[in-house]
Every structure is written in C-alpha cells, then in structure tokens.
C-alpha cells in the first residue's frame, strides 16, 4: 500500500443502509478536517520572480486594509474557495510573537502534533520518521468518544521546504484519504515583521470525488445544516450579516481552529510538559469561545475530559 494512504480508510460496504449513511456522514466530516494550502499560492510562486519570503511580505501589503479593519478584532484575514472537485482555505495573520518562536512550533512533526491535537475532532497525532523524512499520522473522529469505528487516519509526509532567518515554510502532504478524497496539503508559513511580530499563513486544500461529495452533502443537509462560517455574504431582512454556510463554512471553521491552536501554543511557554499541555488546551478553548457562533460545540469541562481520554489512549498506544 502506498505509504501516503490513510492507515484506516473504512468505506460503507457490506453494511446496512442506516450504518452506511452514518459512515458517510462521519467520513464526510473528517474529510473536511483532514485537509490542507491553496493551489493559488503555488501558482503565484511558480509565476513570480520574487523570492518566497518577498512574496509573503507582498501578500501582507496586499491584505493590509483587511488586516487592519475586519470583524475579528485582530489582524486576521480568512479566505475560502469552493472549486470544481476541490476545496481551498487560507488564513493570514500578524501575530505578536517573534519569528523564532513561531518557527519552533513547526520545526518538527512532534511540535506540529502538539498544535493539531488541540482541535476538538483530532483524537490523536503521532510523529514518526522514515526513509522519506518526518511524518505524522493524524486520527480524526467525532468530537465525543464514540469508538474507533467512527475514526479515520491519514499519514502525512512533512517537508521543511524553507527554514532560514527570513522565511519558514513547512508542508504536510498525503496522496489519498477517506471516501475518494485525495491530494491533501497543509502549509505553514511565516516571515518576521520586526523583533516581536511575525506574519503567518496557514493553507488548506484537498480534492474530492463523488463519494465524498455525497457524504458532505448528507452532513450539510443534517448535522451541519445550521452551522455558519466567517465570511459575510450579505444581509438579512433585518440588516444583520448573513454568513457563509455549507462546505466553505466548514473549511473556515477548521482553519480558524488551527490558527487559534497556534495562538494558544505560543501564549504558553512555561511549566512542565504536562502543565503546558493542559494550559494550552484551556487557552485554545477560551479563544474559540470568542467566536462561539461559529465554533462552540460543548463546554470546557467536556472538552478537557475528551482530551484526557485521548491523551490516555495515546500514552497506552491504543
């Protein structure tokens, strides 16, 4: 089997209609989670004569008005795109942390796993190494423990494409995932602004086929029907903002959760490893509650309880 394939890709075959529908819904949600940078970023790099670091600084200048005036209350721009057979999402932000601190979060698979694990749907993240370099296996499932049958995993190859004093670019890639999803790519990028600030970019993209489209459609028609994203698409009859829904909303919610995980990780730097981990989980949850309309799922006690269970399973190797 290709090493980039998920360790456990369970398809709805030889099971009853109800179980099959449940499995489609579950895997559809996971496919939205396990994705990764927009192809537009790659196209810009291939067509530009500027260095990658200069391109990212140029992007910051381009986004400057939106970084300074937005509904987030912080210098943050979130962009999502739904293309034929492909989803893409990007978040760009100024962060009040030195470039070296941001870089430390992404210089190893273990460091990236610490960040990704904060997401409520990530049940485990395991770093490893092989002949092709570092990799990590991400297991995603329901936000509540419902058994391993409701989980999917994808093994990502990690590549540090650029790591110098002016630019950091790390990518995670996987050829295939659950339910006809493929070409997963995550990108983490940063450049220094000054001694205490950095400009960061998270990118997400993945391609999908008919089976994944059916799964996503079922999820969005049922459990995800009322969920919203962050992009405002207009106003309702009362003049209130109308937020994007559907697959783009799902992408936006998850790229925001990962961005907030970076903020939580960077804000907690002291204490023992266990103390840092617990403090970061609490910090992440508090940050998501600032965007409760989009990100609230359950209370802090339940979140921490679920994460304690996940950590115990990871420690036991199960």
Distance (Å, rounded) from C-alpha 192 to C-alpha 190? Answer: 7
Reduce the DSSP state of residue 77 to 3 states and report it: strand
List the Cα angle 79/298/249 in 5-degree steps: 20
Crossing angle of helices 17-33/247-267, nearest 10°? 50
Q: Which residue is listed with tokens 């459609």?
A: 217
Per-domain residue ranges of the chain: 17-316
Six-digit token string for 177: 């995932």
Domain 17-316: homologous superfamily in CATH: START domain (3.30.530.20)
For every one of its 318 residues, what pLDDT tens digit does the chain have, with 9 covering 90 and above? 222 222 232 223 333 444 444 443 343 343 334 433 333 444 444 556 889 999 999 999 999 999 999 989 899 999 998 888 888 899 999 999 999 999 999 989 999 999 999 999 999 999 999 787 899 999 988 888 765 446 788 889 999 999 999 999 999 998 877 777 778 889 999 999 999 999 999 998 878 777 777 777 777 777 677 899 999 999 988 889 999 998 889 889 989 999 999 999 999 999 999 999 999 999 999 999 999 999 999 999 999 999 999 999 888 876
| Cβ neighbours, 10 Å, residue 183 | 18
């Amino acid at each position: 089997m290709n090493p980039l394939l998920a360790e456990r890709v369970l398809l709805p075959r030889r099971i009853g209609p109800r179980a099959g529908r449940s499995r489609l819904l579950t895997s559809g949600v996971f496919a939205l989670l396990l994705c990764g940078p927009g192809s537009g970023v790659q196209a810009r790099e291939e067509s530009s004569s500027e260095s990658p670091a200069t391109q990212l600084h140029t992007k910051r200048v381009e986004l400057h008005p939106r970084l300074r005036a937005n509904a987030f209350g912080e210098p943050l721009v979130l962009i999502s795109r739904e293309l034929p057979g492909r989803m893409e999402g990007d978040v760009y932000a100024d962060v009040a942390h030195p470039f070296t601190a941001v870089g430390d979060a992404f210089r190893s698979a273990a460091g990236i796993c610490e960040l990704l694990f904060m997401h409520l749907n990530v049940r485990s993240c395991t770093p490893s190494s092989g002949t092709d370099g570092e990799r990590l296996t991400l297991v995603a499932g329901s936000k509540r423990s419902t058994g391993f049958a409701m989980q999917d995993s994808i093994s990502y190859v990690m590549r540090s494409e650029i790591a110098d004093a002016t630019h950091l670019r790390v990518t995670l890639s996987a050829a295939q995932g659950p339910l006809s999803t493929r070409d997963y790519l995550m990108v983490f990028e940063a450049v220094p602004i000054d001694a205490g600030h950095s400009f960061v970019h998270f990118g997400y993209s993945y391609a999908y086929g008919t089976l994944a489209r059916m799964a996503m459609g079922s999820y969005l028609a049922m459990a995800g029907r009322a969920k919203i994203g962050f992009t405002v698409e207009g106003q309702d009859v009362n003049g209130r903002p109308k937020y994007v829904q559907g697959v783009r909303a799902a992408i936006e919610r998850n790229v925001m959760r990962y961005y907030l995980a970076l903020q939580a990780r960077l804000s907690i730097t002291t204490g023992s490893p266990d103390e840092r981990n617990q403090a970061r989980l609490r910090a992440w949850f508090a940050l998501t509650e600032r965007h409760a309309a989009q990100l609230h799922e359950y209370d802090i006690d339940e979140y921490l309880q679920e994460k304690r269970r996940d950590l115990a399973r990871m420690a036991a190797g199960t």
